[in-house]
């Protein structure tokens, strides 16, 4: 729960200067000029799993989070992302698609929207993702025009490898200012409507399993186990 005192916010019983606390680096994304070459490098050589297509790119993962890495075709992404009012944020040299940070709760996400709006920060997107990941999210522009995301509750991919089908994602552009139904209740209602969890995307790799990595056969002789740290070089330090 998040509450505000005269100068501080109560975030889970701790007084902080903002109504949320970043717990970890979430996922990051690149905009690649050579999309196919980058796809081969990150997915085939490094071993990220493809979760599902992501518009002008791919969502990838190394563990249970729906995506810990996203790769986009730079030309296609820029044409889509920087149209209209967003054109002022375009920087041709920017290859970073997004950097994301996980907070602790739905309440922190709701309060973060109020916090940034109260500071006059331009909010690019908020609410709950209707696409891959289904997370509660808040997107703002960082000073160097990188896309910055706070999120909570990203979809988990379990042993069967299926992503959540689109009708189960329940996306909304509105911040979660009211208590939300738990995901298992949303899934129960969707199943009663005849939606199958097996209607989601399940990518099957064609890479041969030839390396013994701690007793498991993998396409590479190693396995990525975490994301980060990440360093940023900025003009406006």
Spans of all domains in the chain: 7-218
The pTM assigned to this predicted structure is 0.92
What confidence category does residue 129 fall into, taking pLDDT thresholds of 50, 70 and 90?
very high
Cβ distance 156 to 133 under 8 Å? no
Rounded Cα gap, residues 66 and 106, in angstroms: 18
Measured CA distances, 168 to 4, 8, 131, 188, 191 (Å)? 34, 37, 10, 10, 9
pLDDT band at 105 (very low <50, low <70, confident <90, very high): very high
Q: Which fold has domain 7-218?
A: 2,3-Dihydroxybiphenyl 1,2-Dioxygenase; domain 1 (3.10.180)
Q: What percent of the chain has pLDDT over 70?
A: 97
Q: Are 48 and 61 in contact (CB under 8 A)?
A: yes
Q: Residue 179's pLDDT is what?
A: 95
Please report the pLDDT score of residue 50 as a whole number. Answer: 97
H-helix segments, 31-81: 35-39, 74-81
pLDDT recorded at residue 175: 96
* 5 pLDDT higher than 70: no
Q: How far apart are CA 98 and CA 149, in angstroms?
A: 7
């Amino acid at each position: 729960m998040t509450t505000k005192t005269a100068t501080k916010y109560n975030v889970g019983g701790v007084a902080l200067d903002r109504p949320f606390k970043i717990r970890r680096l979430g996922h990051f994304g690149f905009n690649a000029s050579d999309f196919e070459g980058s796809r081969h490098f990150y997915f085939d050589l490094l071993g990220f799993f493809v979760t599902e297509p992501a518009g002008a790119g791919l969502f990838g993962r190394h563990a249970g989070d729906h995506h810990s890495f996203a790769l986009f075709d730079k030309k296609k992404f820029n044409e889509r992302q920087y149209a209209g009012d967003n054109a002022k944020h375009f920087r041709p040299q920017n290859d970073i698609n997004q950097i994301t940070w996980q907070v602790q709760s739905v309440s922190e996400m709701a309060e973060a929207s109020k916090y940034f709006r109260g500071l006059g920060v331009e909010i690019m997107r908020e609410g709950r993702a209707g696409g891959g990941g289904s997370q509660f999210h808040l997107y703002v522009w960082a000073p160097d025009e990188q896309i910055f995301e706070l999120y909570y509750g990203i979809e988990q991919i379990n042993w069967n490898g299926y992503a959540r089908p689109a009708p189960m994602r329940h996306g909304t552009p509105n911040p979660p200012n009211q208590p939300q139904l738990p995901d298992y209740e949303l899934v129960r209602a969707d199943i009663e409507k005849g939606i199958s969890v097996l209607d989601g995307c399940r990518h099957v790799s064609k890479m041969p399993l030839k390396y013994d990595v701690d007793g498991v056969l993998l396409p590479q002789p190693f396995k990525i186990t975490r994301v980060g740290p990440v360093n940023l070089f900025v003009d406006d330090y």
